[in-house]
Copies of this chain bind each other. A is one copy, B any other.
Amino acid sequence: MKTNKFITIYNDLKEKIQSNEYAPDHKLPSENELADQYRTSRETTRKALNLLAQNGFIQKIKGKGSIVLDVNKMNFPVSGLVSFKEVARKIGKEVSTHVHELSLDEMDEELQKKLNAKQGEKVWKVVRTREIDGESVILDKDYFLQKTVPSLTKTICENSIYEYIENELNVTISFAKKEITVEETTPEDIELLDIKDHTHIVQVKNYVYLEDANVFQYTESRHRLDKFRFVDFARRTHG
């Protein structure tokens, strides 16, 4: 696997920021200096710096330079495409996953629409609950098009489906859309989750798209109110 030059520079600078070699509120070397250091052109250096800026490590200011941001203070985005396992590891809690259902089903009309699929295509349906510190707090229903995920096993579902998809299959995830709303608890929620006296749950609908801009997964996540937390990090972009 050959790595691009600007990715190499990005990773190097990222590590130096995280290890405090470049400390918060201080400035990075200028673009010209960095281009010299890494024996590359300025445009390539700029690509690396723009990535750092996009991911919240630095802030570029015209006429001044690139300022290192306080990574810890920003308390990084648990947003986007991060998998449950990664999040769990991050918060350092005792977690586990229980698979309640794993089946290859026909789709009803609504699901067909959500996945933008044809009549007759089949989907994997996976129902899982997530336990944190011994309490069942998240109910996940995942739907994968069989077209892109030919087979699935219980073992895979108990670990990270994302890892399996990205590493074992040759599929690249491109972007995801999330919709967060609050809904009334259903009998199923009460059955599968350790609901306290709550009348509502937080519902997260997640649409995952591939490189070719087709949806291939739809997930409905139902979170116990008191255990829900979502962080979003929005950068202003041109236009």
Contacts and interface: CB of A to CB of B under 8 A. Distances in A.
Interface of A: 7, 10-11, 14, 51, 54-56, 59, 61, 67, 69, 74-75, 77, 79-81, 173-182, 198-200, 202, 211-213, 225-226, 228-239
Contacts of A238: 7, 10, 51
Nearest to A223: B182
15 contacts: A10-B239, A14-B239, A51-B238, A51-B239, A54-B237, A55-B237, A59-B212, A174-B235, A175-B235, A177-B231, A179-B231, A179-B232, A180-B229, A180-B232, A181-B230
Contacts of A236: 80-81, 173-175
A174 B150 CA distance: 43
A147 B228 CA distance: 35
A13 B232 CA distance: 28
Nearest to A74: B177
B177 A67 contact: no
Contacts of A226: 182
A176 B89 CA distance: 25
Contacts of A75: 177
A70 to B, nearest CB: 8
A181 B232 CA distance: 12
A12 B167 CA distance: 39
A178 to B, nearest CB: 4
Nearest to A25: B213
A233 B54 CA distance: 15
A233 B14 contact: no
A10 B61 CA distance: 23
Contacts of A14: 239
Nearest to A229: B181
Nearest to A228: B182
